[in-house]
Amino acid sequence: MPRVLWFPAALALALVLLPVAGLLVRTDYARLPELITSPASLNALRLSLVTALLSTVLCVLLGVPLAVVLARAGGRAVRLLRAVVLLPLVLPPVVGGLALLFLLGRNGFLGYLLDVVAGVRVPFTTAAVVVAQTFVAMPFLVVSLEGALRGAGDRFERVAATLGARPWTVFRRVTVPLLLPALGSGAVLSFARALGEFGATITFAGSLEGVTRTLPVEIYQRAETDVDSAVALALLLIVVAVVVIAVARPRALEGVRS
Amino acid sequence: MRGVRAALAATVLAAASACAPAGEGTALTVFAAASLTDSFGALAERFEADHAGVDVRLNLAGSARLAQQIQEGAPADVYASANERTMREVAAAGRVEGEPRTFATNRLTIAVAPGNPLGIESFADLAEPGLTVVVCAPPVPCGSAAEEIERITGVTLRPASEEQNVKAVLTKVRTGEADAGLVYVTDVLSAGQEVAEVELPEAARASNDYPVAVLKDAAEPELAREFRDFVFSDVGRQELLRAGFGAP
C-alpha cells in the first residue's frame, strides 16, 4: 500500500468522526438520563427498533430474489432494471415519501383500491413507516448481494445443474450459501438505513407519538425547540445502531466468509 | 498527475472567488418565517428596485429553526418571526438591537378539500370519529395556537399526525391524505384553488403576533433598519394585507 494513501484516508476518517465528536461535546450530560428516558423518547426508540427490524426482514425476503434475478438473468431490460433499483438512493427522501403517497395514498391508484376493496388506509399508520423504510433501505441489500453474486460467477450453479440438481435445489444449496456473507453486511446496511430513515417517513406516514414518530422524526421535532434534547436523542440513536450492528453481525461488515 | 494538480488549483481558485464580495453589490440577509415567503419575497424585490446594487437574501424557514441558527451565530441582518416566543429567545441571547416591533398578525383556519365534500362547518366537526385531521406539533407556533383553540372551544382533537410545520399540514390536505388541517389564513390564500377554507371564528382569540428586529452585529445595520422600516411602510402593509395578514 502506498504511504501517500494515509493522508486522504485520515481526512476521510476525520470527516466521519469529527462531527460525531462535535455531538459528544455538545451533549448536556447532566440532563442526558432524564432526556432519553422520557416516555416520548422511549416510545420513539421502541417504534424505531420494531419498524427497522420489520423493514430489514422485508428487505431480505424481497431483496434476495430480486438480487438473484438481476445478477443471473440477461438481456437489456435487466440492465435497465439494475439502474432503476438504485432510484431510492438518488431520490431525495421527501420525494420518495411523495411518490409513496401518490401510489398508496388515498388518491393513489393502489391506495384507492385498497381503501375501496379492503377498507385499508396505509398513510398515518405504522405500516406506512415500514413501507417507507423498506423503500429506502432495499437498494443497499440488493446492491451488496448482486455485486457478490456477479463477483462469484455462476460456475457452481452450472455445475450443480449439470449434475442433475433442479433449479430450486440449486438456489437453496448453492446460490443462498454463496450469498450468506454479503447477506450479513447487506442486512446490516439496510437496518442502519431504515433506522435513520426520516424524510420519506415524515412525508408518507406523518408524525404521531407511538404510531409513526420514530426516533429520527422525534429528533427532528425537538431540534426545532430544544437542541440539547435533540442531541441527547441523536446520541441514543448512534449507540443503538452501534450496539445492534456489533451484536447482530460482529463480522458482517468485514464481508468475510463465516 | 499534472491534470489532477490543475483541477485542484482550479477548484481552489473557484472557491476563493466564490468567497470574495461580488463587485460593488451589497447583500442584506433577512431571516424570515416560512409563512412570510410570498409577502417578503415581494417586499425584497421592491426594496431591491429602490436600492440599486443591493441584493436582499431571504432565508425562509420555521421561526424556531431560524432563531436557533441566529443563536448559533448565523450571519443575519434582520429577523422576522411568526411568534413572540422565538423572538424572545433571540433577544435573550443578546442578538437583537433595540425593541422588536409587531408588524402583522396571523390566525389559524380550517383547510379542507375544494368544495368541502365532507361538509365540515366548525371546529367541533373536526373531532368526529373517522375524520382524518392533521395539525402542527405543539412545540411549533401553529401547534401551540391549535392547542389554544382546543382550550377555548373545549373540543379535543385526535389528529392523525402532528406535523413539524404548517406547510406540511397544508401538503397533507392538498394531496387529499387529510380531510382537514389547521393552517394559517395566509396558507389557504397562497394555496389558491387547491384547498377550501372553513371559517374558524374562535381563532381570532388565539392569533400570532409577527415581530421584526434588526440584529446586533448586522453586517449592514443601516440597510437593515431601512428594510425594517420598509416593512411598516404603506407598501409593506399592502403586501402583507394582500397575503392575508392582519394589522397589528
Q: Residue ranges of the alpha helices (H) in B154-246?
A: 166-174, 185-191, 221-232, 234-242
Q: Is the residue at B7 inside a domain?
A: no
Spatial separation of the C-alpha atoms in residues B32 and B58, rounded to whole Å: 7
The verdict on B54 and B177 lying in the same domain is no
Q: What pLDDT was estimated at residue A152?
A: 85
CATH number of the domain that residue B191 is part of: 3.40.190.10
pLDDT at B6 over 60: no
Contact B138, B162 (CB under 8 A): yes
| Contact (CB<8Å) A105/B172 | no
| Contact (CB<8Å) B164/A212 | no
- Give mean pLDDT, residues B211-233: 94
Nearest residue on chain A to B139, judged by CA atoms?
Answer: A225
Q: Is the residue at B101 inside a domain?
A: yes
Q: Is the residue at B88 inside a domain?
A: yes
Q: Is the residue at B145 inside a domain?
A: yes
Higher pLDDT, B55 or A228: B55
Q: Which of B179, B86, B175 is nearest to B132 (CA)?
A: B179
pLDDT at B21 over 50: no
Question: What's the domain count of chain B?
Answer: 2
Q: Is the residue at B196 inside a domain?
A: yes
Per cent of chain B over pLDDT 70 is: 90
Q: What pLDDT was estimated at residue A122?
A: 92
Q: Which of A144, A150, A239 is nearest to A190 (CA)?
A: A144
- Chain B residues with CB-CB distance to A221 below 8 A: 137, 139, 164
Q: Please name each of the domains of chain A with its CATH number.
A: 29-254 (1.10.3720.10)
pTM: 0.81
Q: What pLDDT was estimated at residue A94?
A: 87
The verdict on B115 and B173 lying in the same domain is yes
- Give mean pLDDT, residues B217-231: 94
Q: Is the residue at B69 inside a domain?
A: yes
Q: What pLDDT was estimated at residue A257?
A: 46
Q: Find where cell 395514498 sits.
A: A105
| Contact (CB<8Å) B161/A101 | no
Interface of B with A in 176-205 (CB under 8 A): 176-177
Average pLDDT, chain A: 89
Interface residue B175 vs chain A (CB under 8 A): yes
The verdict on B98 and B215 lying in the same domain is yes
Nearest residue on chain B to A222, judged by CA atoms?
Answer: B139
Q: What is the pLDDT of residues B68-121, one digit of tens each?
A: 899 888 999 999 998 888 899 999 999 999 899 999 999 999 999 999 999 999
Distance from CA of A125 to the nearest CA of B (A): 9
DSSP code for B162: E
Distance from CA of B46 to the nearest CA of A (A): 31
The verdict on B216 and B98 lying in the same domain is yes
β-strand partners of A30:
none
Q: What is the pLDDT of residues B122-173, one digit of tens each?
A: 999 999 988 999 999 987 888 989 999 999 999 999 999 999 888 889 999 9
Per cent of chain B over pLDDT 90 is: 69
Q: Is the residue at B17 inside a domain?
A: no
Low-confidence stretches of chain A (pLDDT < 50) are: 255-258
The verdict on B71 and B153 lying in the same domain is no
Q: What pLDDT was estimated at residue A250?
A: 56
Q: What pLDDT was estimated at residue A251?
A: 57
Q: What pLDDT was estimated at residue A205?
A: 93
Q: Is the residue at B162 inside a domain?
A: yes
Q: Find where cell 444449496 sits.
A: A173
The verdict on B38 and B127 lying in the same domain is no
Average pLDDT, chain B: 88
pLDDT at B22 over 70: no
Contact A122, A114 (CB under 8 A): yes
The verdict on B84 and B67 lying in the same domain is yes
Interface of B with A in 124-143 (CB under 8 A): 132, 134, 137, 139-140
The verdict on B122 and B195 lying in the same domain is yes
Range of the domain at B130: 108-206
| Contact (CB<8Å) A207/B161 | yes
Q: What pLDDT was estimated at residue B7?
A: 47
